[in-house]
Amino acid sequence: MKSRLKWTSLLSVIALSTMLTVACSQDGTKPADSATVNETTEIKAMSGEDLVAQNSPEEKDKVLIVDVRSPEEYKAGHIPNAINIFVDEIESRLDEIADHKDMPVILYCNSGNKSGKAAEILVDNGFQDVTNAEGVKDFEYDLVQYEDVRGADFQALIDDNQDIVLVDVRPEKQVKEEGMLEGAINVPFDSVEDHLKELPKDKTIALYCNTGTKSSDVAKQLEELGYNQVVNSIEGVKEHSFTLVK
């Protein structure tokens, strides 16, 4: 009789253990995975080579690149076309990139640690296509020091700052046909050196074009000429709802 009771107790324990195991598998409980923060969205990884390819003039407008390092590190040298949102501020500044919730967002930092943390924050807040790219300490990117901003931030800059030179680098013919942002001067991207007298080094030079490609080229050119107060809009008049006047 005692033997039968012992077997009954043992079978009960086994049954309970089995039920708990099945229940855990059914509710999705599993070991934590540093690359997956929920059931539907996985944080992807990207090599430096792939980021450079994605950042080409033909591909860059398909993604948003975010440098999550400090403003000081960003200013010291960042990947072209990357905006800066410090990892410690990203949760409070999600509205600045909310329009990219269903579009690719690529994050990077020095080593991938801070950008990994930022990636988890984005995924937790509903971003569907998030990639953590190789850091600037691990891959030899060609870095720039001018500032890259989105169209809305560019508009805010020129609205709030009177001590700037606003520059449209599109061809003269297009500017005459379509107009420019109010207060802008036209310095076509292929004749910058002919207009240097209009671009004082002691003022902020704010550049824009159609898609941010030519203005980025001009920003690099000015940087090489010793300008250190240059802002480039990565979204041009074909991508952001700027108001043009003739």
Catalytic residue IDs: 109
Taking a C-beta distance cutoff of 8 angstroms, is the pair 244, 183 a contact? no
Name the residue type at position 101. K
